[in-house]
Structure 1
Amino acid sequence: MPEKHVAKSKIKTLLDELLAQRFNQAPGRMDVYVDERSLIVHLEGFMGDEMQNLIRLQDPDALRSVQELMVEHILPELAGTIGTATGFRIGTFYYDWSDRDLSGMLVGLPEEQAYHEQEDYYSGKSEVHEIIGKVTYEIQKMPDETYSYWAADHILVIVREGILIKIEKAFVDQGASEILRKVKRNLEKEVIDLEAPRIEKILKRKIKDFYVDWSFELNKSLLVYVFED
C-alpha cells in the first residue's frame, strides 16, 4: 500500500467522485482513516437535509433502509476501485448509521486480518474488553476472541469473533440475515448505550457516538467508538 497520507488522499477523492456520480452530491463531510488493519470512512450529511428530515419524520427505519441500500449499491465498486488505486484489498465491508445525528461509518477490513497481529496496548484495554464481553453475552454469547485498536486518536475499533448462537445461525441459513441484523442492532445498541458511562470512565474520554455491524458469514462483529476530539 502507498504511504498512508497518499492512500488516504486517493481514497477520499475516489469516494467524493463515486458518491457525487451515483447520488448527485458528495457528503457534507467525510473523514478517511487507513492503515494496514482497516479502512474507515466517517460520513456526515450523506443525504440532503430535506430528504433526511422527511424520511426521519415519517419512518426512522425507512431512513436507515434507504441509507443502507445506497451504501450497498456502491460497496463492490468501491472495494474494487480502492484496491486498484491503492493496493488495499478489502475483504469485508461493515457499515452503520447513527440515529442521533444521521452520520454513517463504513469500515473495510482486508482479507489478511492484520488486527490479529497489530493490536494496540492501551490503558484500560482489559476492562473495555470485559465490558464488551458482558454486552455480547447479554444478547448472544461471550465472544470466542476480542481484539481492539485505535484507528485514529479518537476512533476505537473493537472486533468480536465467534459470537453467534445456534438459533442465529439458523436465521442466517434460512435467509433472514437482514431481520436478524435489525433486531440485534436495536438490542445491542440499547445495552452498549447503557455501558457508555463505564467506557468513558475507563478511557477518560467522552463518547460522541458508536456504530455496530456484523458479518454473519464470518461470525464476526465490528463495534466502533468515536470519541470527542
Structure 2
Amino acid sequence: MTSKPIRILVADDHVLLRQGIAGIVAPEPDLEIVGEAANGAEAVAAFERMRPDITLMDLQMPVLPGIEAISRIRDLAPNARIIVLTTYPGDVQAVKALKAGAYGYLLKSSLIDELLTAIRTVHGGRRFIPADVAQEIALHSAEEPLSDREVEILTLVSAGKANKLVAHELRVSEQTVKAHLRTIFQKLGVSDRTQAVTTALRRGIINL
C-alpha cells in the first residue's frame, strides 16, 4: 500500500519563490503542495482550512509577520510542523522562530540543496537547523539580549540618524541615547555605531 504524500503549505509573499519551491517539490512522489499564502494572515487561514503536514513560512511578510503567524498556527495545532524560510542567517531571528514554535530554520539561499531534506526531517519529528545557524545560536546563547528600547535606538541609528535626532524622536535626552549606545556596544562586543549596526543586521537583531 502506497503511503500518502506529505502535504505542504507554502507561505511567502514572493510569487517567484513559491514557484521555485513548487518546481523543487513537483518531481518528488512523497511530497505534495496543497496550498499557498502570500501573507501571514493568509497563512494562518490556509493552515486552519487545509491542516497541512508541513508549513513553509517566510518571516518577513505583510499583514501579519511570520513569527506571529507561527504562534497563531501553533495555538490552532500545538503539533504543527513549521519550517521557517528566511534570508537571515542570524541567531536572533532563529531563536525567535524556534521559541514561537518552528521546527526547522532554512535559509532561502540553501533551498535547492536542503529543502527536501528539511521537509522530510521535520515531518519525521526531528528539528532541522543548518550547522552555521546552530553555531551562531550556541555562540551567543549566554549573552544578554538587547532591550526593546536598545533595538529601537539601533534601528534609528541604522537609518543614519544622529544621536540628537534619535533623542528628539524618542523624546529623551541626547545623553540618554549615548548611554544606551554604550550599553549596546558592550553587549554586541563592538566599539562604534557602524560596527553595532553591521553586527545587529548580521545577527537579525534589526532589519533594514
Same fold at TM > 0.5: no
TM-score, normalised relative to structure 2? 0.28
Which structure: greater strand fraction? 1
Which structure has the bigger radius of gyration? 2
TM-score, normalised relative to structure 1? 0.26
Which structure: greater helix fraction? 2
